[in-house]
Structure 1
Amino acid sequence: MTSRATLDWLGGPELADLWDRLRARVEGNGVVVRGHIRSAHWSPDERRRLSMLLGRSVPPTGTVTITLTEVDERLRATTDGLLAVLEALGGPLRDRAGERRARRDTAVRLWDEAARVADRDWVDAVRRSGSLARLPAAEALRLIEQGARVLAALDPDHPVGRGDLAARITGTAHGLDDGTLLARIVLRGLALRHVDGVMPSGASERRDLWRLAGAATDEVSATVLTLGLRPPGHSAAGRLLRERADAGFETHLTVREIRRLSGPPVAAGTTVYICENPRVVELAADRGASTPLVCTAGNPATVVTTLLGALAEAGADLRYHGDFDWPGLAMADRVLRRFGASPWRMTALDYEAGVSLARTHATPLEPLTGNPHDATWDPELTPTMLALGVKLEEETVLDLLLADLS
């Protein structure tokens, strides 16, 4: 036992910093007396008290090195040793090294179990992100399981309301709202699936990624820009579209309106052009173009893929044009494969002609950046783009596109 007088002397303010340092070292060691501490920041009063505790002279200046075994041996003359003194002065010691090992072991078991119930690449991405690092293992695994169910339920060809999906899987319509942990880890899976793992950087990009995956926040706010669609049949929505097409007006369609057509958007065999930039639609309308045209406005959102899917199902002859850069080629590949579209002025010869035209008119062209994408529809396109090294956007070749539409 350690006497009260001894504890009072040891607990004086001059040794407070020493005990803090020793406690940190002992707990980091796994509550084992080994190692040393070193510091030059001792006051004259602290140095005098250290000299008395250690039984040796401590210099008035400079670094002092103190081994834990040295302190333990000195204390055992009047106490039960260093560990007992630390607990008497500051409460129970924690085995922080053991706690770290336990957390690591728990984390290993968590991620092994998660990889058995979900896609390993997604699970690894979630683990690396640290999104669930502070959660108890059971809660983290529950979110992984819910996220896996959400990812399995999403299909761009069969859009679903995000609130409806959240209610079905989490019990609340707000379970996939922005800012929730579940939404964050699901978005990581959607990014891997649809945009090469690049996480959205803002609210607008997050909404676009949800829609691309087939989860719409609603069926009326997002629209697809069209021109010249003339659906057959007698539905009210079809009549309105035909009237606007005859008047030369462009039309923004919602998912709800597409579904209200109650029939194909065009007659079988109709040629429908697809562009990426709204400027193509604008100028086509100004010039009285009557050929059906659909604009993706960048990466196709759910409402765009809903319309393209309906057009493909109706037997339309779809022809796609986009930007000549690596993301543009990747997007073209997805549209061509998914909807059976044909490339529209998207060959190596078209690219060369567009670059030549731009240089003739002294139009500045930006350099190509990022990782090259192989154009599956034309094996000469990617090498040609690498050789010329410049992006070619739709705005640069508007006249060529409009000639086709007219």
Structure 2
Amino acid sequence: MTVPERAGAHSPDADALAFLTRPGLTRLWTAARTRLERNGLQPAGAIRLERLDAQEREALSLLLAKPVNGPTATIRLPDLDARLRTSAVGRGLASTLGQLGPPLTDRRAARDAAAAERALVWSTAQTEVEATSLSAQPWTGQWLEEIRRGGILARQDQHTATIVITQAVQILATLFPGTDPDPTPASWGRGELATRATGSAHGLDDGTLLSRLVLRGIALARGVELPADAPTRRALWRMASVTPDEVSSTVLAYGLRPTGGTWREAALRERADHHMEAHLTLRELRTLHLKMPPGTRVHVCENPRVVEAAADSGRTAPLVCTSGSATTVVLALLDALAASGCTFAYHGDFDWPGITLANRIMQRYRAEPWRMRAADYEYLATRTQVLGTPQIALTGTPAEAGWDPELAPAMNTLGIALHEEAALDLLMEDLG
């Protein structure tokens, strides 16, 4: 079959469509689509098809109205466009491809439009800078250039990018209002500053795009490295006289008896003497002198129920609870205890997220496993089966236990997840 000559039709008839969609032409249309999208949708240049099979050679011969005999064919797109227009298809190459598949994308026009949008974003940013005190700051140009090179705004749509860079300029101009490189700054709460710039108290929360841009500017202004973790980010905010929220998140602790002489350390010792847990904020941790008695061994657990049981039974060993994945305030307390010379023992859930968390804590603090070896898991799993305790299936992505290579295989074999409560009686024995 050949493609019939055009007979006044404005769209391919059923026979023509059946021909155009035959498998022997699939590679041709794919290659032609790619070339047109790169060429601004113009049928210019040529495409080369190699390793043609018999089915493809036949289809191309019929379509082009000339024999294609070898394993390779070079098709000029202007010729293909003209051939389609004079056949029963009755339309050019671009229109035909739109009929056969999804709409064509003018990638050249899209690139030009994206470049124009990025240029507008940077033009807006420059205008905003020139209208503020940042125009006199020696680091502002480097700040803008680093943001541009990093591509952090290029990944946003124009509207979002323009809003965020404008807000970042306004915030930095608020923090650095004059030419004095080290002025006596006004103090801001981070939530207050965020509300002023964005309307939301969470606009500068850790991890937001806006906070990353502002912190980059503060780091350049203060001549320090861009922070890589939460504690150094908080420290950098304070360098610009911005107080992060340090009271909403807490870490659960029990039995801490620091040797410091202020009322804060005394209050912790008194709570420990009365078998009462403590919820410590980052603000408290900054003012506490957490010097512990030499050789203090701190047990670390994952579930608050362990702390509750320790308090109810009057246990005396120091205990810190991560309450799931260890947050910034949890790590801040453990860091302080580690700095005072404490050693650690860790216990968590026998499931894959629990193993991942245990790896993190044990590696960071060189903690010993606390009833967290393969033998402990197998004993607890067997005990739950003997007692007829309902079983929890082990699901998720397996994680190797860095402290015991036999643990993950044992968990995979038995397929049972065990939460910390399954070992509560044994943990209480160790905390006596």
The TM-score with structure 1 as length reference comes to 0.56
1:397 corresponds to which letter in structure 2?
A
Does structure 1 residue 250 correspond to structure 2 residue 280? no
Alpha-carbon offset, residue 222 of structure 1: 1.6
Shift in Å at residue 303 of structure 1? Answer: 1.4
Matched residue, 2:407: 381
Cα deviation, residue 347, structure 1? 0.7
Q: For the aligned residues, what is the CA RMSD?
A: 4.7
Indicate conservation of the 8 Å contact 2:393/2:416, yes or no.
yes
Query: Which sections of structure 1, spanning at least 5 residues, go unmatched?
Result: 1-28, 34-64, 69-94, 146-160, 190-209
- Counterpart-to-counterpart distance in 1, 2:331 and 2:207: 22
Counterpart position of 1:396: 422
Letter in 2 for 1:349: A
- Is 1:276 matched up with 2:302? yes
Residue 225 of structure 1 aligns to a residue in which SS? strand
- Establish whether residue 219 from structure 1 lines up as the match of residue 246 from structure 2: yes
Out of 358, 363, 372, the position equivalent to 1:337 is 363
Cα deviation, 1:50-97, whole Å, max 9, x if unaligned, reads xxxxxxxxxxxxxxx9859xxxxxxxxxxxxxxxxxxxxxxxxxx977
DSSP-derived class of the 1:233 partner: coil
Cα deviation for residue 143 of structure 1 reads: 9.5
Q: Is the 8 A contact 2:346 2:358 kept in 1?
A: yes
In 1: Cα distance, 2:255 partner to 2:420 partner: 20
**Counterpart AA for 1:280:** V
Contact in 2 for aligned 1:354/1:396 (Cα 8 Å)? yes
SS in 1 for 2:298: strand
254 and 32 in structure 1: CA distance in 2 versus 1, 3 angstrom threshold: closer
* Total equivalences in the alignment: 277
Q: Does structure 2 retain, via aligned residues, the 8 Å contact 1:163–1:174?
A: no
Deviations 1:277-318 (Å, cap 9, x if unpaired)?
Answer: 000000111111011111110111121111100111111121
SS in structure 2 at match of 1:273? strand
Tell me how far apart the structure 2 counterparts of residues 301 and 162 of structure 1 sit (CA, whole Å): 24
Q: Aligned AA for 1:268?
A: P
Residue identity over aligned pairs, in percent, reads 41
Structure 2: 5+ residue runs without aligned partners? 1-38, 44-88, 93-104, 121-142, 170-186, 214-228, 235-242
Are the structure 2 counterparts of residues 240 and 102 from structure 1 closer, same or farther at C-alpha, using a change threshold of 3 Å? same
In structure 2, distance between residues paired with 1:136 and 1:290: 54
After TM superposition, list the pairs within 5 Å mapping 1:7-406 onto structure 2: 99-103=109-113, 117=146, 132-135=156-159, 164=190, 178=202, 184-185=208-209, 217-264=244-291, 266-406=292-432
Which whole-Å CA distance do the structure 2 matches of 1:97 and 1:275 have between them?
A: 55
CA shift digits 1:134-170 (9 cap, x unpaired) = 448787889999xxxxxxxxxxxxxxx9955996xx9
Query: By how many angstroms is 1:259 displaced?
Result: 2.5
Residues of 2 paired with 1:133 and 1:242: CA distance? 54
Instruction: Describe the shift of the 1:349–1:311 C-alpha distance in structure 2 as closer, same or farther (beyond 3 A).
Output: same
Counterpart AA for 1:133: D
Cα drift, residue 362 of structure 1? 1.6
Alignment-mate amino acid for residue 222 of structure 1? S
For residues 383 and 180 of structure 1, do their structure 2 counterparts lie closer, same or farther at Cα, with a shift above 3 Å needed?
same
- CA distance 1:385–1:31, change in 2 (3 Å): closer
